[in-house]
A and B are shown apart, each in its own frame.
Chain A
C-alpha cells in the first residue's frame, strides 16, 4: 500500500482528468476546424460507443469477442500450465523440447491464422483455437520456469509426508509455480486480445474486429473509433479481473517476497 494522503490522490485524479480533457478538446477543435470523414466529432463517437455497449450491438458484436478471448485464454492457460508443469517437473524432457518451445515463442502467432482458416474454416472454433495457440507459449514457458524453481526441500517434505505424485503436483508444485504462471498469463492476455481482433478482421461476420472493418468500408468512422474504444475497455476489464484474481490467489506471495527481501 502506498503511503499517500487523500489530498494527494485527489490531486492525481484531477491531473489525469485534466489531461484527458485537453486531448479531447484538441480532437474536438480539430474536428470542427477541419471537417473530414476520418475526423468525426466527439458527440458522434460517443453516440456510437453508447450504441455499441448496450442493446442489440452489445449482444451481436461485443459479447462474442469477449467470449472468444475468454475461451481462448482459458484454453491456453490450462494447456500451457499442464504441459509446462510436466516439462518443468520431468527435467529430462526439457533439453529435447527446448528448441521447439523457443521456436513457438519466437513465432508470431498470427502467422498461423491462414493455415487455421484452411483447417477449421471461418468458425468460432478456429478463432478460439488460434487465440489459445497464441496464449499457450507464454504460459507454458512460465510454468516450466515455475516448476523448475520449486524448492527441493518442499519436495522432500512432501515425500516424507507420504504424498503421492498426484498429491505432490496439486499441493506443492502447482501452488509453488503459480506466481510464475500468473506472470505468463499477463503476457498471454495481451496476445489473446491481438489474436481476437485479427481473427475477426480477417474472417468473421460478427465481433468487434468485424464491426470495425465493416464500418471502415462504409466510411462510418464514428463507429470505427467507438469500436477501438470498446476494445480498449474490454482489455482494461480483462486486465483488472486478472489482477484481482492474482491478488487473491497470490496474497501469500507478496507477503513472502516482502519478508525475504
Chain B
C-alpha cells in the first residue's frame, strides 16, 4: 500500500498549518506543520529529539489545543479526544492502571459496550498480542515488553480507525523492540489499520512505515515526505539487508542530520529573528 495509490481518496487524517508554542509564545514548538495520512497507511513521523514530535501527537489526539491550524479526520475537525482514535504511549508503566488486571486494562475503554461484546473484543485483542495466558495478571507482574503489549491490546480492542504510537518501543530492550515492531507490523497489516508512528529511530521508521514525514528542529515543520516502497511482509533480516532499505535509511538519515547540523542556526533563535518586526 503506497501513498500514491491513496492520494486520490480522502485522507483519514490531515494536519493543516499546525502551530503551537509554550510559555505564552516564548517557546515555539510547532510552526506550520502540515501533512496528511491516507486510509490504511502506516505513516512514521521522525525528527531530531526534542523537536516537538510528542506535542504534534498530542495535538492530533485532541489532548492539547494547538494555537493555530487544524486537525481533520476525513475532512471534519474535532476538539476533544475523538472515539475513532487510540494511543499507545511510550511509558507503559505509567499508562497502564496498576489496580486492574491485564484483561481489565485491555477493556478499559470499552465501557459503552455490553459485557458479551466487551469480552469478545478483549479476548481477540489479547490473543492478537499474545497475552491470553497472562490475562489475569497485573501489569506490574509483567516484563516491559508484555506491559507494552497490554497497552497495545487496549488500543486495538477499541477498534480505532487511527492508531497513534508515541515512541512505543523506546523504553524496552533491543530484542523486545524487534519483537514488538514485528507484532505491530503484523497487526496493522491484518487489521488494515491506519497507524501514525512517532519515533526518533530512523531504522524503525524505514522498516515499519509506508511513508515517512521528517520534521525540522524546533519549532517543527515538515521538511521531507519520503515514500517507503518496500514490499510487505517485511522482517528484521531480509528487509533491513536489502539495498532499497539502506538507500532509504541513508535518505531519511541525511534529512534528519541536515536538521541537527552544528553549522545551522538553532531553530528557535532563527524563528524569533524572523518574527521580529
Contact = CB atoms under 8 A, between A and B. Distances in A.
Contact of B63 (A156, A163, A256): A156
Nearest to A162: B83
A154 B158 CA distance: 16
B99 A175 contact: yes
A256 B108 CA distance: 19
B141 A255 contact: yes
A156 B97 contact: no
B161 to A, nearest CB: 13
Most chain B beta carbons < 10 A, residue from A154, A161, A167, A175: A161
B112 interface: yes
B87 interface: yes
Contacts of B83: 162
Nearest to B63: A156
Interface string A146-177: 00000101101101111100010000100110
Interface in B71-88: 80-81, 83, 85-87
A253 interface: yes
Interface residues of B, number: 25
B93 interface: yes
Contacts of A176: 99
Contacts of B85: 160
B138 interface: yes
B87 A160 contact: yes
A16 interface: no
Given A162-B81, A162-B83, A157 B95 contact: yes
Contacts of A154: 94-95, 97
Given A252-B99, A260-B93, A161 B138 contact: no
A169 to B, nearest CB: 14
- Most chain B beta carbons < 10 A, residue from A154, A157, A162, A163: A157
B89 interface: yes
B140 interface: yes
Main secondary structure of the interface of A (DSSP, over half): helix
A253 B98 contact: yes
B111 A167 contact: yes
A156 B93 CA distance: 14
Contacts of A260: 93, 140
B109 interface: yes
Contacts of B89: 153, 156-157
Contacts of A256: 98-99, 138, 140
Interface string A64-82: 0000000000000000000
Contacts of B63: 156, 159-160
Interface in B116-154: 138, 140-141
B95 A252 contact: no
A130 to B, nearest CB: 34
A259 interface: yes
Contact of A161 (B94, B141, B158): B158
A92 B125 CA distance: 40
Contacts of A255: 138, 140-141
A208 to B, nearest CB: 38
Nearest 7 pairs of A and B residues by beta carbon: A161-B109, A259-B140, A256-B98, A252-B99, A160-B81, A153-B94, A153-B95
Given A161-B158, A255-B141, 4 more contacts: A153-B94, A156-B63, A162-B109, A167-B111
10 contacts: A151-B94, A153-B89, A153-B94, A159-B63, A159-B81, A160-B61, A161-B108, A162-B83, A255-B140, A256-B98
